[in-house]
Amino acid sequence: MSKALEFELLNKDTRSKARRGRITTPHGVIETPVFMPVGTQATVKAMKPEDVEKTGAQIILANTYHLMLRPGSDIVRAAGGLHEFMNWHKPILTDCGGFQVFSLGHMRKITEEGALFASHIDGSRHMLSPEKSIQVQNDLGADIIMAFDECAPPDADREYIARSQARTTRWLERSIEAHQNPDRQALFGIMQGGFFRDLREESAREIVKFDLPGYAIGGISVGETKEEYIGVLEYAPDLLPENKPRYVMGIGTPDYIFEAVEHGVDMFDCVEPTRIARHGMAMTSQGRVSIKNAKYERDFGPLDPACDCYTCRHYSRAYLRHLFKAGETMSHMLLTEHNLRFLSRLSENIRKSIDEDRFLEYKEEFYGRYYRRDK
Amino acid sequence: MSKALEFELLNKDTRSKARRGRITTPHGVIETPVFMPVGTQATVKAMKPEDVEKTGAQIILANTYHLMLRPGSDIVRAAGGLHEFMNWHKPILTDCGGFQVFSLGHMRKITEEGALFASHIDGSRHMLSPEKSIQVQNDLGADIIMAFDECAPPDADREYIARSQARTTRWLERSIEAHQNPDRQALFGIMQGGFFRDLREESAREIVKFDLPGYAIGGISVGETKEEYIGVLEYAPDLLPENKPRYVMGIGTPDYIFEAVEHGVDMFDCVEPTRIARHGMAMTSQGRVSIKNAKYERDFGPLDPACDCYTCRHYSRAYLRHLFKAGETMSHMLLTEHNLRFLSRLSENIRKSIDEDRFLEYKEEFYGRYYRRDK
């Protein structure tokens, strides 16, 4: 077991697989289940780190693909690592960069060695391999780093998935081998196998052997149907050790979060709250609100009367609508802060409901408010 | 004298016309000379109001033209006024809207009644008159409001300036007549007269008769040479009452500020610090810094080692350069905060130097650092 990370299982819901846990990292403690805001380019878009922390965020994610290309991981390392560079002194997780590279489509080529790709910034050619991904992540210095995996598309056939999954296991072995700081950075493995239960079982069997400090369930929330997503959640978390944190990447809508938690997942991240904020969308206790709606022109009430965030305490819907219509940066800043607080509070409430053994009741209450009303 | 504003003259420099003063408004005290950040559309771009206040800002400016078109002054009034609407509880000054309308060029027509113009947002036609400008400013509820004037272009001929100046005086009379809240909002008159001393004298004589709580020197810093600018400053402030604050609109570079103060001006505003921040430019104790310069790629020192702002205390030039190159909003946020602190500190230092009767020495010291070195 890595000295970089400890996981305690604090409580279990008796009528679902939901679990309350606590992760300890070199930069602090993370209560789980936890939503992790994304700071792709070493900044949570339109937020000061102190304000991110005030929303209740315990850990943020940064992207290896973006940072290796700009500013370059050597610069971040020379700055003293990502925490120093970006002035965020709580835990950080970096992804392996694979997902972004594979999303480049025809601009990349996958081989046993890794993925050859052309930069989205200047078209320059780069190789991302397990060794390169881990070297970049070692430079960045996040508390939790991810093994290099291939996240296959949801419509890939069984043969492709089987080959890709086996290769991901070989890449995991190379990732572990390449990792220079196991005492300061906890390396998580990633289960693949698409929507084929036997391939998932095979993947889990292989990666669990390495006794890593944590595991992710990869290849879901990548464009499949919600039924397919839940289908994998029904068995995949159980294939992973109970005493290690479980992470699903790229989920940030309440329903996907509730489903993951219900099936025993502890960690999740997504650009959803920050991205929709920049499009004038807010998550509220009454469901989604599109602030550009004309009906808010003279609405001097808060964005969400049930919210305790900075935005809701100080500004009206009319003001937020004005800022958005006027193209003001402050609109992005205020809606982002609200949405991050929304998902942090959701995580807090989920944790409380598990501690009180009423997770399913809380889920039902939440759905009743969030999804039933038409906005 | 208006109950909305009091002005105390605290100190005078013995070797220049620089003066230390104190303005008291319904929303607080303003020590002068003072630089006022601009929040055109009811927000200082990319800044939370609490952070604006932390830079040392004592009063901000908002623009009547923009706010009358969007969201509309009736909405701001219904929100409880600009202070409530934008969550800024210190003094606010609104301009009269004339400058923006006259800048529309062929999209506006000036008559004795006022200026007919087409909105830059949707082309809709509006009339901005003294009565309309004051009504909008009464709705917005700023502590200091401006009479409706014509700011003639710097290349206008004497005949045009003479006519325009006389009309501005008639518009002032109508502005005073239209003003509904003289006990809560102090109305300032604006001297015009272009670069013709006798016309400036005539303008001053006329507007001073109204015994207003403060006066602006209009029609400078509008594209003339620095010599022409200083030429007007050499006599114009003396034409105004000593016991009233004097305001020059649209100046935000240190040299223009020092010249204004040296000649007895108390207040000034400009979009300069906020606008150049969004283009990656910082004002520092060593002069201007363009953060996109490649030489800052691995510069882990602060933007300005002599600065006490949030940005300089927490971030490196390398990080700021990265944010700017990556197109991150955080770049605008951090450079804006720095530049506002720079001009607030400059104002603080100017005030201190006047109190210590060493304004000209301070000016020379400052110029030696800011303008001599090539960045």
Contact B200, B227 (CB under 8 A): no
pLDDT at B63 over 90: yes
Cis upstream peptide for A213 (omega within 30°): no
**A1 is a domain residue:** no
- pLDDT tens digits for range B183-227: 999 999 999 999 999 999 999 999 999 999 999 999 999 999 999
**B341 is a domain residue:** yes
pLDDT at B2: 52
Q: Is A52 on the interface with B (CB under 8 A)?
A: no
Distance CA A347, CA A351 (A): 6
SS3 assignment, position B141? coil
Together in a domain, A14 and A107: yes
Min distance A365 CA to chain B CA atoms (Å): 33
Q: Is residue A74 among the annotated active site residues?
A: no
pLDDT at B1 over 50: no
* Residue B375 confidence class, pLDDT cut points 50, 70, 90: very low
Only one residue has tokens 């080529």, namely A109
Residue B276 neighbours by CB under 8 Å, 6+ apart: B282, B283, B339
Contact A5, A62 (CB under 8 A): no
Together in a domain, A287 and A256: no
Residues of B in contact with A71 (CB under 8 A): 297, 318, 321-322, 325
Contact B217, B237 (CB under 8 A): yes
- Choose one of B220, B247, B271: the last residue of a domain: B271
* Residue B3 confidence class, pLDDT cut points 50, 70, 90: confident
Distance CA B148, CA A157 (A): 72
pLDDT at A372: 77
Together in a domain, A233 and A304: no
Taking every pair of Cα atoms in chain A, the longest distance, rounded to a whole number of angstroms, is 60
Nearest Cα neighbor of B62 from B40, B45, B91 is B40
pLDDT at B373: 57
* Residue A2 confidence class, pLDDT cut points 50, 70, 90: low
Nearest Cα neighbor of B190 from B249, B102, B127 is B249
pLDDT at A373: 57
What is the ipTM for the molecules in this complex?
A: 0.97
Q: Is B296 on the interface with A (CB under 8 A)?
A: no
Element (H, E) at B232: helix B226-233
* Residue A328 confidence class, pLDDT cut points 50, 70, 90: very high
| Nearest-CB residue to B328 (from A45, A79, A326) | A45
**Residue A115 φ then ψ, to 5°:** -120, 125
- pLDDT tens digits for range A27-72: 999 999 999 999 999 999 999 999 999 999 999 999 999 999 999 9
pLDDT at A153: 87
Mean per-residue pLDDT for B159-179?
Answer: 97
* The dihedral formed by the CA atoms of B21, B24, B29 and B33, expressed in degrees to the nearest 10: -30
- Choose one of A252, A269, A286: the last residue of a domain: A269
pLDDT at A375 over 50: no
Domain of residue A114, CATH code: 3.20.20.105
| Nearest-CB residue to B322 (from A46, A70, A321) | A70
Q: Is A93 on the interface with B (CB under 8 A)?
A: no
Residues in chain B: 375
- pLDDT tens digits for range A342-359: 999 999 999 999 999 999
Together in a domain, B169 and B141: yes
Contact A56, A348 (CB under 8 A): yes
**A375 is a domain residue:** no
Min distance B26 CA to chain A CA atoms (Å): 21
Mean per-residue pLDDT for B38-56?
Answer: 98
Min distance B51 CA to chain A CA atoms (Å): 11
pLDDT at B106 over 90: no
Q: Is B38 on the interface with A (CB under 8 A)?
A: no
Mean per-residue pLDDT for B27-49?
Answer: 98
**A136 is a domain residue:** yes
Q: How far is CA A169 from CA A189, A197, A239, B183, in A?
A: 9, 16, 15, 76
Write the single-letter amino acid at B356: E
Strands B28-32 and B19-25: antiparallel
Distance CA B340, CA B107 (A): 33
CB contact under 8 A, B85 and A333: no
Mean per-residue pLDDT for B62-85?
Answer: 98
**B116 is a domain residue:** yes
| Nearest-CB residue to A46 (from B78, B85, B330) | B330
Together in a domain, A226 and A315: no
Write the single-letter amino acid at A372: R
- pLDDT tens digits for range A213-268: 999 999 999 999 999 999 999 999 999 999 999 999 999 999 999 999 999 999 99
Q: Is A119 on the interface with B (CB under 8 A)?
A: no
CB contact under 8 A, B300 and A45: no
Together in a domain, A234 and A365: no
Mean per-residue pLDDT for B278-301?
Answer: 97
Only one residue has tokens 């490196």, namely B316
Together in a domain, A201 and A284: no
Radius of gyration of chain A (CA): 20
Catalytic annotation, pick one of B51, B95, B139, B304? B95
Min distance B67 CA to chain A CA atoms (Å): 10
- Residue B263 CA, chain-centre distance (Å), reads 17
Q: Is A36 on the interface with B (CB under 8 A)?
A: no
Please report, rounded to a whole number, the percentage of residues in chain A having pLDDT higher than 70: 99
Q: Is A293 on the interface with B (CB under 8 A)?
A: no
pLDDT at A56: 98
**B327 is a domain residue:** yes
Q: Report the half-sphere exposure of A327 (CA within 13 A, side-chain side).
A: 2
Q: Is residue B95 among the annotated active site residues?
A: yes
pLDDT at A1: 43
- The distance in angstroms from the start CA to the end CA of chain A is 48
CB contact under 8 A, B41 and A328: yes
Please report, rounded to a whole number, the percentage of residues in chain B having pLDDT higher than 70: 99
If one compares A114 and B107, the residue with the highest pLDDT of the two is A114
Contact B82, B139 (CB under 8 A): no
pLDDT at A335: 98
Contact B261, B41 (CB under 8 A): no
Catalytic annotation, pick one of A13, A51, A95, A304? A95
**Counting Cβ atoms within 10 Å, is residue B368 exposed (0-12), middle (13-18) or buried (19+)?**
exposed
CB contact under 8 A, B71 and A47: no
| Nearest-CB residue to A328 (from B45, B300, B315) | B45
Together in a domain, B266 and B298: no
pLDDT at B153: 87
Beta strands in chain A (DSSP E): 6-12, 19-25, 28-32, 34-37, 60-62, 92-94, 108-110, 115-118, 125-128, 144-146, 186-191, 214-217, 246-248, 267-270, 281-284, 287-290
Residues of B in contact with A46 (CB under 8 A): 329-330, 333
Beta strands in A54-138 (DSSP E): 60-62, 92-94, 108-110, 115-118, 125-128
Distance CA A49, CA A86 (A): 8
Distance CA B203, CA B162 (A): 9
* Residue B372 confidence class, pLDDT cut points 50, 70, 90: confident
Distance CA A127, CA A115 (A): 6
Distance CA B102, CA B48 (A): 31
Residues of B in contact with A48 (CB under 8 A): 330, 333
- Choose one of B255, B271, B287: the last residue of a domain: B271
pLDDT at A106 over 80: no
Together in a domain, B198 and B267: yes
Contact B359, B16 (CB under 8 A): yes
**B135 is a domain residue:** yes
Together in a domain, B267 and B316: no
Distance CA A365, CA B269 (A): 52
CB contact under 8 A, A78 and B300: yes
Distance CA A100, CA A119 (A): 10
Q: Determine the angle formed by the axes of helices B158-178 and B130-140, rounding to 10 degrees.
A: 50
Together in a domain, A260 and A319: no
**B49 is a domain residue:** yes
Q: How far is CA A316 from CA A313, A321, B52, in A?
A: 9, 9, 20
Range of the domain at B351: 277-370
Only one residue has tokens 């001073």, namely B208
Q: Is B48 on the interface with A (CB under 8 A)?
A: yes
Residues of B in contact with A325 (CB under 8 A): 70-71
Only one residue has tokens 């709606």, namely A293
CB contact under 8 A, B87 and A325: no
pLDDT at B280 over 60: yes
Task: Compute the 3-state secondary structure of chain B and give helix, strand, coil in percent, each to the nearest 5.
Answer: 40, 20, 40
Distance CA B94, CA B77 (A): 14
Together in a domain, B92 and B187: yes
Mean pLDDT score of chain A: 96
Query: Into how many domains does chain A fold?
Result: 2
Catalytic annotation, pick one of A139, A143, A266, A269? A269
Number of neighbours of residue A70 by Cβ within 10 angstroms: 15
Min distance B115 CA to chain A CA atoms (Å): 24
CA angle A324, A327, A332 (to 5 degrees): 60
Min distance A47 CA to chain B CA atoms (Å): 7
